[in-house]
Amino acid sequence: MSARKHMTGVVDIDTIEVDGRFLRVGKRDGQRGVTPLLLFNGVGASLELVEPFVAALERSIGVVIFDVPGVGGSPTPRTPYRFSGVAHLGDRLMLKLGFDGTVDVLGISWGGAVAQQFAFDFPKRCRRLILAATSPGALMVPGKIGAIVKLASPRRYTDPDFLRRVGADLYGGAYRKNPELLHHHARHIKPSGGLGYAFQLLAGAGWTSLPWLHRLRQPTLIIHGTDDPIVPLTNAKIMASLIPGSRLHVIDDGHLFLLSRAKDVAPMISSFLLEDKA
């Protein structure tokens, strides 16, 4: 069952029931014959946050993104879940939308862990994999303690003044130099509840992809910033060394380069996804 909510100008917003859960879903139709892109967002982030990136992506690429249960407009579940559960939801959602063939997957930060899990759990379903500002999980090289402490609370999504105070040190890169980016950032988020945020953090407790990264066979593009206080660049280098045939692209920016540098990064990602269509 699906009830049309509204259109943002970038994606159509629906509420869709998947395996008994109601998910707030953003969808942009692509060109026939072009593999759709399933996007997994960062911790606490609603789908509005990545709309600037989606808008900059090649128009022929269809995009699907959903608010994780308990975040944005998706109701909070009664019990916690794991990354594998979110990956399963993503697969079931794509089937519900009529995408029963291969899909491309992009994961940002927290969502990058889900994307890795999706590629591992559904190897024949996942055609290409993009990992942005993410890590192999619990065994990662840790970020700066101050950034991690701030990340543990959803306050940055509910208190604009707090976001302005801590945003530069939390996200690094362009956010250190341009305060206007924080204002733009705040306008593209839908606050999540405390319990939903806590469930997101619990989803990754003890999880690591290090034992099986070498088994991934999808063409993989890893993108990471040089000034990422949350996830140091070393993590991307480790993943690139373990995923066969993966490509690592380092960008001179911070944790949210996908947003601050959307017009630079989106064409690179589009080329990666469409290179076999040329």
pLDDT at 244: 97
Rounded Cα distance between 56 and 62, Å, is: 12
pLDDT surpasses 90 at 36: yes
pLDDT at 167: 86
Active-site residue (options: 2, 46, 74, 109): 109
Strand order in the sheet with 21-28: 2-7, 12-18, 21-28, 63-66, 37-40, 103-108, 126-132, 220-225, 247-251
Q: How confident is the model at residue 1 (pLDDT cuts 50, 70, 90)?
A: very low
pLDDT at 166: 86
Would you say 163 and 150 are in contact if contact means Cβ atoms under 8 Å apart?
A: no
pLDDT at 117: 98
Look at 187 and 39; give whichever has higher pLDDT: 39
Instruction: Please compute the mean of the pLDDT values over residues 178-194 and round it to a whole number.
Output: 71
Q: Which of 70-74, 162-166, 243-247 has the lowest mean pLDDT?
A: 162-166
pLDDT surpasses 90 at 9: no
pLDDT surpasses 50 at 3: no
Q: Sort residue 137 into left (φ over 0), alpha (ψ -120 to 50) or beta.
A: left
pLDDT surpasses 60 at 264: yes
Rounded Cα distance between 166 and 215, Å, is: 38
Active site residue 109: yes
Q: Is the pTM of this model over 0.95?
A: no
Between strands 12-18 and 21-28, the pairing is antiparallel
229-251: per-residue pLDDT in tens?
999 999 999 999 999 999 999 99
Would you say 218 and 89 are in contact if contact means Cβ atoms under 8 Å apart?
A: no
Which domains are seen in the chain, by residue range? 2-273 (3.40.50.1820)
pLDDT surpasses 60 at 7: no
